[in-house]
A = this chain, B = another copy of it.
Amino acid sequence: MAIKEGLRPGGRSARVQESIHSAVRELLETHQRSTLTVPQIAARAGVTPSTIYRRWGDLSVLLADVALARMQPDGEPANTGSLRGDVRAWAEQYLDEMSSEPGRNMLRDVQCSQTPGYCVAIIGAQLQAILERYPDQPGPSVDRLINLLAAPTVFRILFSAAALEVEELHRLVDIALGQ
């Protein structure tokens, strides 16, 4: 499942998009997010500001697009040999990533996207891949895993004074797996 937002098939357009995404990622390493400007990104990417405005409308949509692309996992979820182990490993990594500073920023940026639903589609695909490894085991639905693991992880990061504790997350994994 690829993120299609803003992507056009073919060479030139995809290369322009990639250079703009790269410019944003590089600038975010050395600049406060709130200080980024479209002309600055355009200069770094070697395009005109109007190229960015034409494609993304404004900066928040571009940042959301970069955030969504970053949410794509680097590879398959860890395979520990058991459903419970795989779900636990996935949930721990998701908690780690989302509660980091870049993770929090991603979560905020993605909400400005025109397609925030991609966020759930991406983690749904990962959880589906885990469930398919254990076809003979009565497993939970993907929606149940999203509601009981991803939702509390993100909600607590965005709206609570303290993120989930790992022990709390493990209890949620047990509840999600009906144990």
Contact = CB atoms under 8 A, between A and B. Distances in A.
Interface of A: 108, 110-111, 116-117, 119-121, 143, 146-148, 150-152, 154-156, 158-162, 164, 168, 172, 175
A145 to B, nearest CB: 11
Q: How many copies does the complex hold?
A: 2
A155 B150 contact: yes
A116 B159 contact: yes
A121 B16 CA distance: 46
Given A147-B172, A161-B117, A155 B156 contact: no
Given A147-B152, A151-B151, A152-B147, A110 B168 contact: no
A159 B116 CA distance: 5
Nearest to A123: B159
Given A120-B160, A161-B120, A151 B155 contact: yes
A159 B108 contact: no
Given A111-B158, A147-B152, A148-B175, 12 more contacts: A108-B111, A111-B159, A116-B160, A117-B159, A117-B160, A119-B159, A120-B156, A143-B168, A147-B155, A147-B164, A147-B172, A148-B148
A150 B117 CA distance: 19
Contacts of A110: 159
